[in-house]
Chain A
Amino acid sequence: MALNKNEIAQRIAQELQSGWYVNLGIGIPTLVANYIPKGIEVEFQSENGILGMGPFPFEGEEDADLINAGKQTITALPGAVYFDSATSFAMIRGQHVQLTVLGAMEVSETGDIANWKIPGKMVKGMGGAMDLVASADNIIVAMMHTNRAGESKLLKSCSLPLTGVGCVKKIVTNLAVLEVVKGGFKLLERAPGVSVEEIKAATEGTLIIEGDIPEMKL
């Protein structure tokens, strides 16, 4: 069975390491915060100006002056700190944030990512995504393997306007965990019950398969 969005988030959460500052993008990445493994301590940064972001507030406790980058109401954990946007991106550009998780419309086998614009159709802007992907050492993309039309989102080269060049390291989709290496997408794990053949069929870019590919453990 292919993973649902929560399971993709759950698999990505297994990558977290204690002591990391982590920036989660909008959509599936936001869900990662719900699955932090026991014993792992991380702190979440939101680029609109908070470190130490907590869960959503209880009803009646929403504060209009306390939101995340997706404009959702949030809470602050003890030890949290607020800062301005220039300081926030100093943390990001200066590589003080250890992991960035974000969504994508397309990823290429050389690690290019496109996630901000469909010319003539959807023009929302890049927000902080270009700063994040240009600087982060460790970028994980969370997305579905194919788009709504069933076309692969893992391509030889991106067709949409790029957000960043050669920056994606790892991809977790509903079908697989893949690493971007020299020569293409290296298949690391399969979703439970999903065959290598199915992943191959859903991947337009070069897929590198070495030996037996284990199933993900959730």
Chain B
Amino acid sequence: MNKIVANVEEACEGIQDGMTLMIGGFGLCGIPENSISELVKLNVTGLTCISNNAGVDDFGLGLLLQKKQIKKMISSYVGENDEFERQMLSGELEVDLIPQGSLAERCRAGGAGIPAFFTPAGYGTEVAEGKEVREFDGKPHILESALTADFAIVKAWKGDTAGNLVFKGTARNFNPMMAMAGKITIAEVEELLEPGELNPNEIHTPGIFVQRIFQGKGYEKRIEQRTVRQK
């Protein structure tokens, strides 16, 4: 099945004000740079963004925050973004902070048809407020619900026209689960291949989870914390 679209404009067709979007990546690693730029251009507003982080002030989701396109963020860690912290503390931005493992599992559950699950993470903290608590083997757990999105936008290293994806290094992170949980999943890839060019044994995300795929371009791949050792 051919999932290919011509470009980022076509890939993002149908994204509207007020929608819920999942955006892959951890920090700036493995984020869909082309699609984020397109969202800025489209100037869609009132978005709910589900993403582990919120980018930095001038890159990643920080670009959408600057233009106040995001109404609500669902994330686990937002420490690298001053504008984010300012909007959150002033009440302009609604924020739902959730444990990273619960965020990953809630996306996976959303894509896997599991409406909710129990986890020990967050028990006894403000994360547990209003959530059902149940003991298993004498240990308390809280009920967390699945997450889905109108669009999930992911970034892969290689992909084929059937939507099969392969990620590189730690740029995999949230991308596979978010790909599963989008009503429409957009995948941008560094290298777009023909079916058969990827080894079926080594595909990370099966194409069934991807509706639109395109060859991205001009990746900046900014490094947040360049850390080196001496020779």
Chain A residues packing against B (C-beta within 8 Å): 46-50, 55-59, 61-74, 76, 82-86, 88-89, 92-93, 112, 120, 123-131, 134-135, 161-166
User: By the criterion CB–CB under 8 Å, are B170 and A48 in contact?
Assistant: yes
**Contacts A62-B226, A84-B204 given: A92-B101 contact, CB under 8 Å?**
yes
Which residue of the partner chain, among B26, B120, B170, B228, contacts A134 with CB atoms under 8 Å?
B120
Task: Describe A's contact surface by its main secondary structure.
Answer: loop
Chain A residue nearest to B75 in the complex (CB):
A125
Residue of A nearest to B78 (CB): A125
- Chain A minimum-CB-distance residue to B141: A134
Chain B, residues 90-117, CB within 8 Å of chain A (1/0): the string is 0000010111111111011000000000
A58 touches B228 (CB 8 A): yes
Identify 23 residue pairs between A and B in the complex whose beta-carbon atoms are under 8 Å apart, listed by A's number: A49-B173, A56-B228, A59-B228, A62-B226, A62-B228, A67-B26, A67-B29, A67-B225, A71-B27, A71-B225, A74-B227, A85-B101, A86-B176, A88-B101, A123-B78, A123-B85, A124-B78, A124-B85, A125-B75, A126-B77, A130-B121, A161-B126, A162-B125
Q: Which residues of B contact A70 (CB under 8 A)?
A: 225
B79 proximity list for chain A (CB < 8 A):
124-125
| Known contacts A55-B229, A65-B221; A123 and B177 CB within 8 A of each other | no
Chain A residues closer than 8 Å to B119, beta-carbon distance: 93, 131, 134
Which B197-231 residues have C-beta < 8 A from chain A? 204, 221-231
14 further A-B pairs in the complex, CB-CB below 8 A; given A49-B26, A82-B170? A46-B170, A59-B228, A62-B228, A64-B28, A67-B223, A71-B28, A73-B223, A73-B227, A76-B169, A86-B176, A124-B77, A125-B97, A130-B122, A135-B121
Is B88 interfacial (CB 8 A cutoff)? yes
Q: Is B172 an interface residue (CB 8 A)?
A: yes
Complex interface: chain B residues within 8 A of A92 (CB) = 101
Q: B118 to nearest A CB, angstroms? A: 11
Cα distance, A84 to B104, chains bound together (Å):
9
Contacts of B97 in A (CB 8 A): 123, 125-126
Set of chain A residues within 8 Å of B89, measured between Cβ atoms: 120, 123
Cα A7 to Cα B104 in complex, Å, equals: 35
Query: Could you tell me if A85 and B100 are in contact, using CB atoms closer than 8 angstroms?
Result: yes
| B124 touches A (CB below 8 Å) | yes
- Are the CB atoms of A123 and B169 closer together than 8 Å? no
Contact B76 A127 (CB under 8 A): yes
Closest Cβ neighbor of A89 among chain B residues = B101
Closest to A68 in B: B170
Contacts of B182 in A (CB 8 A): none
**Are B174 and A56 in contact, with the CB atoms below 8 A?**
no
